Amino acid sequence: MIDFKTIRAAVPTIQAAKDYGLDVGRHGMARCPFHDDHSPSLKLDDRFYCFGCGASGDVIDFTARYLGISPHSAAVKLCQDYGLSPGESNTYNAYIHQSYPNIRRFREDELLCIHILGAYRKLLEDWKERYAPQPDSDIWDLRFCEAMKSLSTVDYLLDCLTIGTLEQRVAMVDSLLVSIIPEMQERLRKEDNAHGRADQSGSGMGGGQEN
């Protein structure tokens, strides 16, 4: 695998941000996805910096945080998506547009899958703690059971989407969109309705995932 320095040099943060679905406006400003931002406070160029919440870093930090994956997975993903490999001249525009004319559409679908899987994963993590069996009760909460059952599957799917080859990811996204993702969306929507938005602040990105 290629070193982080090469990735940073090859892919400007602003480019990855746009490609991964962030709406970047004039002067490289965007509404910050890392805090509740009402006007564009995030400045993107080679790196990123948010005037609102102070989030900052390079393209790997951005990708990891934005997609909710580890820095290592983000580096692997950037290499995959921008066709970076050791010993070649790595400019991001060496990308695979020619072999996948619908790549933009695919990326949007893929990002949707990653976001939904990430949100569902967070819900499961929460259930796993909140509804863990108590010593004095012999009934297990169904939500705890669902968490125990599904967390590893969700992790597996996220891993595949992060580090699979393009062909594998295209096939996986196609099949996820048929039923799994709509089911999860429904699940998340019900949960949202049931609890309102319990935690607006703070808990967002950040400490989340380790792999």
In DSSP notation, 163-187 reads HS-HHHHHHHHHHHHHTHHHHHHHH
Alpha-carbon distances, residue 80 vs 14, 18, 120, 169 (angstroms): 18, 16, 25, 11
205 binds Zn ion (CB under 5 A): no
The interface region with Zn ion, picked from 23-31, 32-40, 93-101, 169-177 by CB under 5 A, is: 32-40
Q: Which is nearer to Zn ion, 35 or 72 (CB)?
A: 35
52 binds Zn ion (CB under 5 A): yes
Q: Which is nearer to Zn ion, 24 or 170 (CB)?
A: 24
Instruction: Output the smallest distance, CB 204 to Zn ion, in A.
Output: 10
Please choose, from the candidates 153, 162, 189, the residue with its C-alpha nearest in 3D space to the C-alpha of residue 74.
162
32 binds Zn ion (CB under 5 A): yes
Length of the chain: 211
3-state class (DSSP) for residue 155: helix
Phi first, then psi: what are they for 57, rounded to 5°? 155, -165
Residues 126-163, buried b or exposed e (16+ Cβ, 10 A)?
A: bbeeebeeeeeeeeeeebbebbeebbeebeebbebbbb
Q: Which is nearer to Zn ion, 54 or 182 (CB)?
A: 54
83 binds Zn ion (CB under 5 A): no
53 binds Zn ion (CB under 5 A): yes
Instruction: Output the smallest distance, CB 33 to Zn ion, in A.
Output: 8
47 binds Zn ion (CB under 5 A): no
35 binds Zn ion (CB under 5 A): yes
Instruction: Output the smallest distance, CB 53 to Zn ion, in A.
Output: 3
* Residues at the site binding Zn ion, with contacts judged by CB under 5 A: 32, 34-35, 50, 52-53, 55
